[in-house]
Structure 1
Amino acid sequence: MTLPADLAVPAYGAGTLADVLPSAAAALGVPVERDGLPADPLGLTAALAGARKVAVLLVDGLGADLVRAHADLAPTLAALATPAGDLAAPCPSTTPVSLTSLGTGLPPGSHGVLGFVTAVPGEERTLNHVQWADDPDPRTWQPRPSVFERVAAAGVEVTAVAPYAFAGSGLTAAAYRGARYAGTVGAGDLAGRVLEALAAAPRTLVYGYTAELDLTGHVRGVDSPSWRAQLALVDLLVRQVVDGLPADAALLVTADHGMLDVPAATRLDLDAAPELTEGVRLLAGEPRARYVHTVPGAAGELLARWRELLADRAWVVGREEAVASGVFGRVDDALADRIGDVVALARGTWALTATEREPGPSRLVAYHGSLTATELAIPLLTARGRALV
């Protein structure tokens, strides 16, 4: 079943979030091997020529389409250079997948964090990667080395600046290991600690993360006064970092995904549709990127039923077809069963909620996870210190 025209396969190795840190590392003189993918596909060695310090600031939920639509609220972002155009988030376009692709420089099919929630093979349970602590062991669940580890091994000072709440989490260990973790208490602290880390050594790679824009979008919607006000605060944060850049430093601003509002008319509640849940053993993923694990022998029948009943509301395929499509990149055989027997990626503004099993997520206003342009397109914006201009 061919991917519909309104969904796209991320171009791994040729302009995705997974290419950002390897390209930044190359600009610092540390090319990173990553399963044969190019070392600097974004051309940052040339774009950041002379930089001895690089900061990568990831703004959760800052889709490229949203930045362009609200340029008046974000003049700093609008004025930054775009050396490689828009990038693409990985699949599914969701935070745990994206952060691990960023940190490892690899597609999801190689690092194994394949969804917001995935099944734990061999066990009758799921793993929420945002609530993950130490079970499964992060170094077993995601065994690939990070870009941070390899850059640090080359003598570059490496720091991850993010909220204290995420220090020591399973996702932090999977995505950021090798970086010194500097906890933050707010946006001003993030700006200050990023600048401190940039100044801490002659050669530095600093990663910064802020989540408030994404949270505001989920709770209030991206077409809300609250979201627009939060975007203006993000722009102020970026301006503070730009204004404080050391002379030989460069800043990259990117995101993990875009997002879109989902009206009531395009929400389908799986818990109110027994014809869609008969034969389901585990429901994983999230409303716009569902993984369905079936009871033994039910996969074929359930796939046919989901295709018929969802029709053009989602791209519905079996696991093998999803893997063959390339949406996850090359999938290691040992990781494939983390993907559902049936995969459903939402089209348009549809969301496959589950109001009984997932009451909190089902009440959100905006979502992401699928492969529409609005969800996939993320910015790569750059600023340079005065010695590099």
Structure 2
Amino acid sequence: MNRLLVPRYGDSLADVLPSVLACLGVAGATDQLRLRLDVDHVCVFVVDGLGAEALAAHADSAPFLTSLPARSITATFPTTTATSLTSLGVGVGPGEHGIVSYLMRLPGEERLFNTLRWRLTGEGPKVDALLAFPPERIQPHETIFERCASAGIAAVQVAPGYQEGSGLSRAGWRGGGFRATYSVGDLIDGVLSALTMAPKSLVYAYHSELDSTGHVRGPRSRAWDFELTNTDRIIADLAQRLPARSALIVTADHGMVELTDPIDFDTHPHLREGVVALGGEPRARFVYTADGATDDVATTWAGALGDAFAVHTRAEVIDAGWFGPTVTPEAAYRIGDLVAVARDGAGVVRTHAEPNSSRMVGHHGSLTSAELLVPLRILRS
């Protein structure tokens, strides 16, 4: 049975860019991660879905990355893209920035909010979510890119075009420029162009193919292994072309596990008793309960799921520090009345309400070491 860990705030994704700012000479920033980079240009390259354990286990498939000094940090909780990328882009934990899950509740809304797609879920009136739920209100804290602008540092996001102006990009990365990518070659060119556009620069680059392959084929598949090799070659090509006084930092938003023991919420009536909404995702469920039903639901879920899951109340996970040292009232409201996190290959799926997710082989969100630990590999030119 896999042990569940707790994010190491102070040694996490939330600490990467504040440490970079300190290295770039931004007043008030602290090099919490002890990067000690004497450079003028930094690219933080995020490989979606690359866990530190998976990288170590597939060293032969990633010779360049594994040739760099090995170090790992933790993602934040839950170990999911929307939460992790916002933690990276804002430089604080989910309890402060408020993007606390893939699916979470907002005040006055019966439907849950999808933070990755920036839209309400389920049936109901069509809503322009960017107008109804402005990212600057949902996530009000200053971003790292906004701090760069104040300090005279050029900051650019290099990512697929669909992310430009998206709710999640505005929530976590507003304040800088955007360079859309259309191919692997364009990704490398975009990073190099952005790095050299000013005397000091910070570039955030995002690469998604490994995560997509892991979801569909599984993180232990041959396809995943091939994709890791492709990703390693991309990063190696970029590293060879870095301008002088630059650093390349490679990290990830989460790792991934294969779902081998799912239980279907939609076909188990006893799991639905007292539950008004089910948020999160299969490996980290937010259970929103009817008034007065939390204790009964906790007993039911703990009994039905057994040792495959840990079921805790909102207060317990906040006190345990899962969402960071500070949790605002707004963020606390968005967290489930209960939080159920999976061990081993377990997951709570919804074959009717979430058919696409339920068919996926690879998943993430929980606090196993395979999901929580992410690489931090650094190259200086």
TM-score calculated relative to the size of structure 1: 0.93
Equivalent residue runs for 1:349-364 within 5 Å: 349-364=345-360
SS of equivalent residue, structure 1 residue 158: strand
SS of equivalent residue, structure 2 residue 117: coil
Corresponding residue to 1:376 among 361, 369, 372:
372
- 1:121 CA drift (Å): 2.2
Runs (4+) off by over 6 Å:
none
| Contact map agreement 2:351 2:358 (CA 8 A) in 1 | yes
Which range is displaced more, 85-94 or 330-339?
Answer: 330-339
Give the structure 2 partner of residue 92 of structure 1. 78
Corresponding residue to 1:202 among 182, 199, 204:
199
Corresponding residue to 2:310 among 315, 322, 336:
315
1:15-59 deviation digits (Å, cap 9, x = unpaired): 1011111111111011455xxxxx211111x2x22x011110000
Give the structure 2 partner of residue 331 of structure 1. 327
Give the structure 1 partner of residue 58 of structure 2. 70
User: Are 1:189 and 2:186 counterparts?
Assistant: yes
- Looking at structure 1, the residues matched to 351 and 109 of structure 2 have their Cα atoms a distance apart, in angstroms, of 24
- Looking at structure 2, the residues matched to 55 and 31 of structure 1 have their Cα atoms a distance apart, in angstroms, of 20
User: Are 1:59 and 2:56 counterparts?
Assistant: no
- Looking at structure 1, the residues matched to 239 and 151 of structure 2 have their Cα atoms a distance apart, in angstroms, of 26
Equivalent residue runs for 1:295-314 within 5 Å: 295-314=290-309
User: In the comparison of the two structures, how many residue pairs are matched?
Assistant: 369
Give the structure 2 partner of residue 366 of structure 1. 362
Q: Quick one: structure 1 residues 32 and 58, their matched pair in 2 at CA, closer, same or farther if it must change by over 3 Å?
A: farther
Give the structure 1 partner of residue 153 of structure 2. 156
Which sections of structure 2, spanning at least 5 residues, go unmatched? 119-128
Corresponding residue to 2:234 among 194, 215, 237:
237
SS of equivalent residue, structure 2 residue 285: strand
Which range is displaced more, 296-305 or 172-181?
Answer: 296-305
- Looking at structure 2, the residues matched to 188 and 269 of structure 1 have their Cα atoms a distance apart, in angstroms, of 42
Equivalent residue runs for 1:86-125 within 5 Å: 86-125=72-111
Q: Quick one: structure 1 residues 64 and 372, their matched pair in 2 at CA, closer, same or farther if it must change by over 3 Å?
A: same
| Contact map agreement 1:22 1:32 (CA 8 A) in 2 | no
| Contact map agreement 1:22 1:31 (CA 8 A) in 2 | no
| Contact map agreement 2:76 2:94 (CA 8 A) in 1 | yes
- Looking at structure 2, the residues matched to 313 and 222 of structure 1 have their Cα atoms a distance apart, in angstroms, of 20
| Contact map agreement 1:25 1:32 (CA 8 A) in 2 | no
SS of equivalent residue, structure 1 residue 383: strand
| Contact map agreement 2:163 2:169 (CA 8 A) in 1 | yes
| Contact map agreement 1:138 1:171 (CA 8 A) in 2 | yes
Q: Which amino acid aligns with 1:344?
A: A
Q: Which amino acid aligns with 1:109?
A: G
SS of equivalent residue, structure 2 residue 318: helix
| Contact map agreement 1:32 1:150 (CA 8 A) in 2 | no
- 1:163 CA drift (Å): 0.4
- 1:303 CA drift (Å): 1.2
Q: Which amino acid aligns with 1:40?
A: D
Which sections of structure 1, spanning at least 5 residues, go unmatched? 34-38
SS of equivalent residue, structure 1 residue 316: strand
TM-score calculated relative to the size of structure 2: 0.95
1:344-387 deviation digits (Å, cap 9, x = unpaired): 011111011111111110000010000000000100001111xx
- Looking at structure 2, the residues matched to 348 and 230 of structure 1 have their Cα atoms a distance apart, in angstroms, of 24
- 1:9 CA drift (Å): 1.0
1:287-335 deviation digits (Å, cap 9, x = unpaired): 0000011122211211111112212111101111121111011211222
| Contact map agreement 1:269 1:352 (CA 8 A) in 2 | yes
| Contact map agreement 2:2 2:368 (CA 8 A) in 1 | no
| Contact map agreement 1:80 1:383 (CA 8 A) in 2 | yes
